[in-house]
């Protein structure tokens, strides 16, 4: 879309947090553009493709943090946003944040050089969590998660038992709108994925639930047999309901939106399911498969695919979409998987990472393993503007990929990030070593820089050197740099 449009923020703010002063400077965000008061000067004009003053992009680390981080995203100016769970006091660069209960949702934004822009916690004495974030064309942050009790994001206080929420914050972290999305019974899990339709800045949501949930178009009720029910919904840029639908016996593990507004959803599926193009899979609750579903911008079925995985113990961990509508999925399989290009045959049913690409009509383009001498698994992926794909995950032993050798520590697994060309060949790779528990989220910036979230139980080697401690970390780097 064009230049970032002005967002009118709720003057009440919201949440306990640290925000940039109006004067900007240092590591904070700059003032809004436009004219000053009587005798004042107008603000600096921003470049058409930017929504904050340009900052020289640099590698940086944020860790080790006493947080559980769940999502990371870039805006189109190269700023980085994160969200997750805070359980103790923490200072991310803008002053101490203090959770109000056992766990609160936390959100933070850093500029392209890693300087603090804003950070906030939201919650009360009950449990709240931030699960996912995305940025629209105006660099507004869309935040999604779940909560119990009361949650003040800056507008009207949201209240309810186990419920989802979605909110829009402007580029300075001020409240624009927020809403509760119904609830579920007991302690049933609620996870949320969010993506932005680039043609309209509409908000697309996907996940799974039990109980009932209402996005504004009437209640959806989960399957009576107790199995998880998947949802996908679309809200307009003001948070108003456009459409919503549900699918039984489906887990949603990834969401993407292409340049035309089509919606891509991937995950795992038990038994038979009909996404709108006819039943997929056998009518057997013990049968298990992986799926990829494409809906048009109005939520109508375009195509869907299923791959048998009952005997292969496989999982898909995300989907990414390029500018031409091609989609990429990644995950892991233990005893092999055929995604349309022939069996991906693992050694002795050893868990191995896979990645596959399909064109805009769902035709297979390539699929391959990223196997190691021990175990490997892909956990997250993304695309840069040129169509190069990036995949992050974990491995043990050594990984031989297209002439490069990645080596994990002798006793601990390591993280990997690889860059794939359109034909599936590996062009660049990076290893993150240490006592890693996970390397679980990846985001790709507008200039091709990569940022990942990980978790360590003792130490990790990051861009700035060794880091000691237990917690989550954020690291941003240029994969092509030595």
In a domain, 267, yes or no: no
Domain total of the chain = 1
How does the average pLDDT of the chain come out, rounded?
Answer: 86
Residue 399 has pLDDT above 90, yes or no: yes
CA distances from residue 68 to 93, 130, 145, 429, 455 in whole angstroms, order as listed: 18, 9, 13, 26, 8
Q: Which helix (H) or strand (E) is 207 found in, with range? A: strand 203-209
Range of the domain at 369: 323-482
In a domain, 251, yes or no: no
**pLDDT grade for 47, boundaries at 50, 70 and 90:** low
Following DSSP, what letter does each residue of 225-258 receive, concatenated? TS--EEEEEEE-TTS-EEEEEEEETEEEEEEEE-
For 427-474, the pLDDT digits (tens) are: 999 999 999 999 999 999 998 899 999 999 988 998 888 888 999 999
- In angstroms, the CA 377 to CA 66 distance is 25
Residue 72, strand partner residues: 82
In a domain, 411, yes or no: yes
In a domain, 350, yes or no: yes
Mean pLDDT of 315-332: 96
- In angstroms, the CA 123 to CA 72 distance is 20
In a domain, 69, yes or no: no
In a domain, 54, yes or no: no
In a domain, 202, yes or no: no
Mean pLDDT of 82-93: 94
- In angstroms, the CA 184 to CA 291 distance is 25
The pTM score is 0.87
Lowest mean pLDDT among 10-14, 324-328, 453-457: 10-14
The pLDDT of residue 126 is 87
In a domain, 449, yes or no: yes
Do residues 198 and 262 touch, judged by C-beta distance below 8 A? no
- In angstroms, the CA 301 to CA 89 distance is 46
The pLDDT of residue 36 is 34
Sequence-distant (6+) residues with CB within 8 A of 94 are 17, 18, 19, 28, 116, 118, 119
- In angstroms, the CA 67 to CA 83 distance is 9
DSSP state of 5: P
How far is CA 137 from its chain centroid? 17
**Between 440 and 189, whose confidence is greater?**
440
């Amino acid at each position: 879309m064009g230049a970032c449009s002005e967002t009118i923020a709720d003057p009440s703010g919201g949440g306990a947090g640290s925000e940039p002063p109006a004067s900007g400077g240092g590591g904070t965000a700059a003032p809004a553009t436009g004219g000053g008061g009587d005798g004042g000067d107008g603000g600096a004009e921003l470049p058409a493709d930017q929504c904050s003053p340009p900052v020289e992009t640099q590698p940086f680390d944020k860790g080790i943090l006493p947080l559980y981080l769940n999502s990371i995203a870039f805006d189109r100016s190269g700023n980085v946003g994160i969200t997750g769970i805070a359980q103790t006091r923490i200072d991310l660069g803008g002053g101490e944040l203090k959770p109000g209960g056992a766990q609160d949702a936390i959100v933070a934004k850093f500029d392209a050089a890693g300087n603090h822009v804003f950070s906030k916690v939201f919650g009360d004495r009950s449990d709240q969590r931030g699960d996912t974030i995305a940025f629209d064309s105006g660099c507004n942050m869309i935040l999604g998660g779940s909560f119990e009790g009361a949650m003040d994001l800056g507008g009207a206080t949201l209240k309810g038992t186990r419920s989802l929420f979605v909110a829009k914050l402007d580029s300075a972290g001020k409240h624009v709108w927020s809403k509760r999305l119904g609830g579920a019974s007991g302690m049933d899990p609620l996870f949320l994925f969010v993506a932005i339709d680039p043609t309209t800045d509409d908000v697309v949501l996907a996940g799974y639930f039990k109980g009932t949930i209402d996005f504004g178009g009437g209640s959806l009720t989960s399957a009576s047999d107790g199995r998880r029910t998947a949802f996908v919904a679309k809200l307009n840029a003001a948070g108003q309901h456009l459409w919503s639908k549900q699918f039984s016996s489906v887990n949603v593990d990834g969401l993407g939106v292409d340049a035309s507004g089509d919606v891509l959803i991937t995950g795992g599926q038990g038994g038979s399911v009909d996404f709108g193009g006819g039943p997929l899979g056998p009518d057997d609750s013990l049968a298990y498969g992986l799926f990829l579903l494409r809906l048009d911008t109005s939520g109508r079925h375009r195509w869907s695919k299923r791959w048998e995985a009952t005997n292969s113990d496989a999982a898909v961990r995300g989907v990414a979409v390029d500018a031409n509508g091609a989609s990429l999925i990644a995950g892991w399989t233990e005893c092999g998987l055929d995604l349309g290009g022939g069996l991906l045959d693992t050694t002795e049913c050893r868990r191995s990472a896979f990645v596959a690409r399909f064109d805009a009509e769902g035709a297979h383009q390539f699929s391959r393993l990223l196997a190691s001498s021990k175990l490997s698994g892909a956990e997250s992926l993304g695309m840069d503007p040129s169509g190069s794909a990036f995949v992050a995950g974990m491995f043990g032993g050594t990984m031989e990929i297209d002439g490069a050798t990645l080596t994990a520590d002798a006793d601990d697994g390591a993280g990997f990030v690889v860059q794939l060309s359109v034909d599936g060949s590996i062009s660049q790779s990076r290893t993150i070593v240490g006592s890693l528990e996970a390397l679980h989220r990846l985001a790709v910036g507008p200039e091709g820089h990569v940022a990942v979230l990980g978790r360590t139980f003792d130490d990790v080697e990051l861009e700035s050197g060794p880091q000691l401690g237990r917690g989550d970390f954020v690291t941003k780097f240029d994969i092509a740099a030595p």
